[in-house]
């Protein structure tokens, strides 16, 4: 075999048979480096060798002794191949049993000195190990008598296999290139990559693997911050259309509204208007609570661009929300001298007129509609704009890191009719984001925060149903609210029954139960993610037009749906949702001057009432976001897969100090070496990182 290196394909190593290779390839484990970076998910402490006589049932333990006898064969009843060995160490004897593993029977022989590590069990014959790890006493401890790494499951490939191969390859490969500059590692007291790999795969104590994970957490956050700062640099050095100062026009527009915008809204609008006047493209995040008025802020920005004669695109995550934006902005701008269009896969409107997709596309290319509303599919289709100066992305958090980067890249590379110009970029999220996450995920964006609620909004009363009697009272309350002409949302986590979650009600089953058993005299609608866009729109239209009294829905209503007449929300299996998402749901009601009520009904087996009590006590999305972050981690906001971030970086997003250090080091490095020409290994690793998290 040629000289081994971290780039060596696993297929070139004889120990990796085809059956194992195919399983590893499905998880992206293709090279030695990939294998080294397949990091343990946990450790089991077998470091202390115990006398057999001192063992007790239930403990994790290692024993060392000789094989006194060994038997192997099929069990009488179930015909399962069983290997049983008896090991003695001078203080006593203990049995060890393995099921279905013929290799062990051929390997262990009477008189052989071995070590066993596992959990001590007990049956009618005494103490025993069930399927313990083992190895000869003469071998350096790999699977026993130390902190044993447990690896993430990969198609049945055992942790034992990973330990064997990783330890052997670490011994054979002397040169492990380190992409992180040595001066940074030295300054931060972090180990080299080679040392970190040994510490994490072969730790002597907890301090070893914790230091190694700190190094890998820094690596991932450092690379991510490099990408974020490079994206920021792109915007800071690119040219944009400079929109004439629209402050006076915007103030006049806001003054004509039938309500007074909040101070936070006005601050955000003026910050954005100021950004638009500059020669560089705006790159701003509008972070606001549910119902804080983000749409008005975005509409004001789009209006300024339209009045200057340019185009603005507003992108929503769903067709239902895109259509709702179009309805609202069409009314808001009814007297303005420009046209608002809607372009989704299902809907094509030019102004208030239905148009074919071809005709609408031509109109957009000719610059006729100045505000174009659609889903983010607009950027994925061959839509040629005439003079696109602003892109607004609604519900940014749904797109995650990967999608935001893709949208920014597409927005900056669009054939928008304005050569050498990048559109201004405004992204909005209705999930209030704690400071740590905002810095880590959106550090390349300027930030505007809407932390005030519009005047006249009454607080939503939130209660947890703790028993069946509470449920009956809730149903009676729904009847009373319906009699007043109000409507009710019922939210469920699933569309259909699931064997895996038998206690979780499905939307379809619950809609049927409510129609036939609970409210046979009321009109019950159903909307969920598997419906086609037009079917969802029709169900939402019926509810909006009060043709149904109760709408049973899945998480499709989390985002943006506006039904001012709905005053009651019932959330079944509320413990299945994060606090931030529950707050999103709750924000669908309380959108009028009528008092509104939210009832949280946990699953029958749930003991999570303490967590849900946060919602009873607080109406602030930012407070709830902090609580959700503390309780469930960053996945409560983005989800590890959705975010695009590697696991360790995801786990460490709440470590504000780490994020700040990584950002500072990335910034300093880019100042001295903007193209990373002096750091070729780091440049190569950054490309690999970008590919790994699909930042393209």
Q: What is the CATH code of the structural domain delimited by 48-145?
A: 2.40.50.140
Q: How confident is the model at residue 162 (pLDDT cuts 50, 70, 90)?
A: very high
pTM equals 0.72
Q: How confident is the model at residue 531 (pLDDT cuts 50, 70, 90)?
A: confident
Over residues 100-156, the pLDDT tens digits come to 878 888 889 999 999 999 999 999 999 999 999 999 999 988 899 999 999 998 988
Q: What's the CA gap between 442 and 433, in Å, rounded?
A: 10
Q: Secondary structure of 560-596 in the HEC alphabet?
A: CCCCCCEEEEEEECHHHCCHHHHHHHHCCCCCCCCCC
- Distance between start and end Cα atoms, the chain: 36
461-618 folds as Rossmann fold (3.40.50)
Q: How confident is the model at residue 594 (pLDDT cuts 50, 70, 90)?
A: confident
Q: Secondary structure of 436-448 in the HEC alphabet?
A: HHHHHHHCCCEEE
pLDDT confidence of residue 379: 73
Q: What's the CA gap between 341 and 324, in Å, rounded?
A: 12
Average pLDDT of the residues in 283-299: 88
Average pLDDT of the residues in 471-479: 95
Average pLDDT of the residues in 545-552: 94
For 619-631, the DSSP string reads --HHHHHHHHHHH
Q: How confident is the model at residue 498 (pLDDT cuts 50, 70, 90)?
A: low
Q: Which two tokens mark 327?
A: 């309805």
pLDDT confidence of residue 437: 74
Q: What's the CA gap between 559 and 555, in Å, rounded?
A: 8
Question: Which CATH code, of 3.30.1490.20, 3.40.50.300, 3.40.50.150, 3.20.20.330, is assigned to 242-450?
Answer: 3.40.50.300
pLDDT confidence of residue 559: 54
Q: What's the CA gap between 395 and 428, in Å, rounded?
A: 6
Q: Which residues pair with 88 in a beta bridge?
A: 66, 93
Over residues 614-633, the pLDDT tens digits come to 888 888 888 887 777 777 66
- 534 or 148: which carries more pLDDT confidence? 148
Domain with CATH 2.40.50.140 in the chain: 48-145
Q: How confident is the model at residue 413 (pLDDT cuts 50, 70, 90)?
A: low
Instruction: Report CA torsion sign: 360, 363, 368, 371.
Output: positive
pLDDT confidence of residue 218: 94
Q: How confident is the model at residue 612 (pLDDT cuts 50, 70, 90)?
A: confident
Where are the alpha helices (H) located in 354-465, listed in sequence order? 357-365, 400-412, 435-442
Over residues 12-71, the pLDDT tens digits come to 999 999 999 999 998 889 999 999 999 999 999 999 999 999 999 999 999 999 999 999
Over residues 423-458, the pLDDT tens digits come to 899 988 877 777 767 777 777 788 898 888 777 778
H or E segment at 326?
helix 319-332
Q: What's the CA gap between 110 and 257, in Å, rounded?
A: 90
The answer to whether the CB of 411 falls within 8 A of the CB of 391 is yes
H or E segment at 223?
helix 206-237
Domain with CATH 3.40.50.300 in the chain: 242-450, 461-618
Q: How confident is the model at residue 182 (pLDDT cuts 50, 70, 90)?
A: very high
Residue written as token pair 């062990």: 104
């Amino acid at each position: 075999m040629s000289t081994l290196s971290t780039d060596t394909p696993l297929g070139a190593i004889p120990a990796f048979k085809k059956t194992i290779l195919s399983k590893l390839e499905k998880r992206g484990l293709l090279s030695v480096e990939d294998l080294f970076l397949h990091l343990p998910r946990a450790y089991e402490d077998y470091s202390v060798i115990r006398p057999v006589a001192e063992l007790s049932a239930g403990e994790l333990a290692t024993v060392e002794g000789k094989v006194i006898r060994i038997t192997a064969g099929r069990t009488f009843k179930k015909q399962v191949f069983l290997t049983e060995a008896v090991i003695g160490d001078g203080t006593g004897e203990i049995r060890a049993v393995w099921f279905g593993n013929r290799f062990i029977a051929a390997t262990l022989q009477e008189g052989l000195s071995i070590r066993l590590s596992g959990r001590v069990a007990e049956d009618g014959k005494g103490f025993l190990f069930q399927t313990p790890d083992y190895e000869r006493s003469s071998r350096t401890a790999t699977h026993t008598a130390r902190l044993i790494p447990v690896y993430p499951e990969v198609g049945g490939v055992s942790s034992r296999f990973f330990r064997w191969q990783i330890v052997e390859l670490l011994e054979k490969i002397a040169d492990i290139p380190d992409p992180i500059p040595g001066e940074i590692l030295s300054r931060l007291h972090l180990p080299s990559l080679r040392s970190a790999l040994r510490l994490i795969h072969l730790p002597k104590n907890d301090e070893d693997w914790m230091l190694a994970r700190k190094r890998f957490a820094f690596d991932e956050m450092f690379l991510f911050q490099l990408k974020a700062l490079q994206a920021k640099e792109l915007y800071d050095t690119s040219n944009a259309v400079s929109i004439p100062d629209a402050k006076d026009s915007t103030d006049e527009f806001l003054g004509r509204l039938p309500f007074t915008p909040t101070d936070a809204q006005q601050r955000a609008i003026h910050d954005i208007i100021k950004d638009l006047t500059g020669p560089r493209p705006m790159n701003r995040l509008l972070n606001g609570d549910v119902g804080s008025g983000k749409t008005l802020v975005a509409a004001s920005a789009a209006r300024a661009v339209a009045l200057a004669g340019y185009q603005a695109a507003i992108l929503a995550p769903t067709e239902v929300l895109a259509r709702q934006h179009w309805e609202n902005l069409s009314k808001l701008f009814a007297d303005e001298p420009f046209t608002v269009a809607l372009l989704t896969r299902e809907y094509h409107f030019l102004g208030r007129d239905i148009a074919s997709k071809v005709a609408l596309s031509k109109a957009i290319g000719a610059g006729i509609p100045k505000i174009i509303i659609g889903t983010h599919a607009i950027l994925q289709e061959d839509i040629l704009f005439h003079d696109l100066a602003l892109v607004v992305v609604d519900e940014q958090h749904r797109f995650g890191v990967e999608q935001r980067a893709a949208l920014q890249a597409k927005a900056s590379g669009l054939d928008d009719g304005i050569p050498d110009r990048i559109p201004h970029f405004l992204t909005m999220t209705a999930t209030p984001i704690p400071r740590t996450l905002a810095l880590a995920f959106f550090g390349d964006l300027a930030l505007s925060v809407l932390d005030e609620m519009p005047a006249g909004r009454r607080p939503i009363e939130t209660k947890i149903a703790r028993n069946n009697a509470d449920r009956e009272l809730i149903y009676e309350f729904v009847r009373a609210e319906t009699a007043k002409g109000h409507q009710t949302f019922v939210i469920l986590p699933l569309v259909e029954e699931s064997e895996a979650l038998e206690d979780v009600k499905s939307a379809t089953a619950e809609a049927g139960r409510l129609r036939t058993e609970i409210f046979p005299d009321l009109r019950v609608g159903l909307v969920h993610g598997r419906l086609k866009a037009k079917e969802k729109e029709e169900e939402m239209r019926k509810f909006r037009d009060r043709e149904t009294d109760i709408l049973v829905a899945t998480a499709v209503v989390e985002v943006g749906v506006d039904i001012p007449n709905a005053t009651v929300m019932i959330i079944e299996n509320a413990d299945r949702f994060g606090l931030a998402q529950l707050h999103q749901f709750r924000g669908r009601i309380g959108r009028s001057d009528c008092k509104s009520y939210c009832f949280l009904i946990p699953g029958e087996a749930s003991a999570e009432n303490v967590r849900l009590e946060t919602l009873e006590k607080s109406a602030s999305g930012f407070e709830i976001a902090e609580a959700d972050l503390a309780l469930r981690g960053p996945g409560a906001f983005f989800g590890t897969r959705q975010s695009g971030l590697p696991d360790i970086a995801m786990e460490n997003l709440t470590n504000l100090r780490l994020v700040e250090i990584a950002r500072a080091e990335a910034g300093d490095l880019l100042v001295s070496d903007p193209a990373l020409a002096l750091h070729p290994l780091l440049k190569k690793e950054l490309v690999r990182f970008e590919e790994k998290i699909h930042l393209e």
